[in-house]
Amino acid sequence: MEAPSLRDIELALTLLWTRRSKRENFLAGETVQDGIHPSLVKHIDVRGVKLYASLIELGRLDLMASIYPHCKKILGKHFNATVHNYMETMPPAHFNLNQAASQFSQFLSEHQSTEAYRLKHPFLPELADYEWIELEAMESNSEVNVAAASSTADVQYLLSDLQVFAGSVPQLNPTLIARAYKYPIGEIVGKIEHDEKLPRRQKVQPSWVLALRSGDHEARYVDLSELAYILVQVIMANAAITYGELIALACSHSGAGAAETVADFLTMVEDFKEIAVIL
112 vs 72, 155, 195, 235, CA distance in Å?
19, 51, 28, 37
Q: Is residue 2 a contact residue for other proteins (CB under 8 A)?
A: no
Nearer to other proteins, 62 or 260 (CB): 62
Least distance between other proteins and beta carbon 228 (Å): 24
Instruction: Name the nearest CA neighbour of 279 among 177, 143, 181.
Output: 143
Do 29 and 44 meet the contact criterion of CB atoms below 8 Å apart?
Answer: no
Residue 253 as a binder of other proteins (CB under 8 A): the answer is: no
Query: How big is the CA angle at 256 (ends 242 and 161), to the nearest 5 degrees?
Result: 35
Is there binding between residue 40 and other proteins (CB under 8 A)?
yes
- Assess 13 for contact with other proteins (CB under 8 A): yes
> Should residue 38 be labelled a site residue for other proteins when binding is judged by CB under 8 A?
no
Are 57 and 18 in contact by the 8 Å Cβ rule? The answer is no
Cα→Cα distances 84→18, 74, 117, 194, 242, Å? 9, 16, 15, 28, 48
Count the residues of the shown chain that bind other proteins, applying the rule CB under 8 A. 44
Q: Segment contacting other proteins (CB under 8 A): 55-63, 78-86, 103-111, 176-184?
A: 55-63
Q: Is 161 in the site for other proteins (CB under 8 A)?
A: no
Give the 3-state secondary structure of residue 210: strand
**Residue closer to other proteins, measured from CB, 92 or 244:** 92
β-strand 219-224 against 207-213: which pairing, if any?
Answer: antiparallel
Is there binding between residue 234 and other proteins (CB under 8 A)? no
Position among 24, 27, 30, 48 found at the interface with other proteins (CB under 8 A): 48
Q: Residue from 27, 30, 38, 59 that binds other proteins (CB under 8 A)?
A: 59
The torsion angles phi and psi of 266, rounded to 5 degrees, stand at -65, -40
Q: Specify the residue, 63 or 234, whose C-beta has the smaller distance to other proteins.
A: 63
Question: For residue 14, what are the CA distances in angstroms to 50, 81, 142?
Answer: 12, 19, 35
Q: If binding is defined by CB under 8 A, does position 52 make contact with other proteins?
A: yes
Residues that bind other proteins (CB under 8 A): 4-7, 9-14, 17-18, 40, 43-45, 47-49, 51-52, 55-56, 59-60, 63, 91-97, 100, 138-143, 175, 213, 217, 219
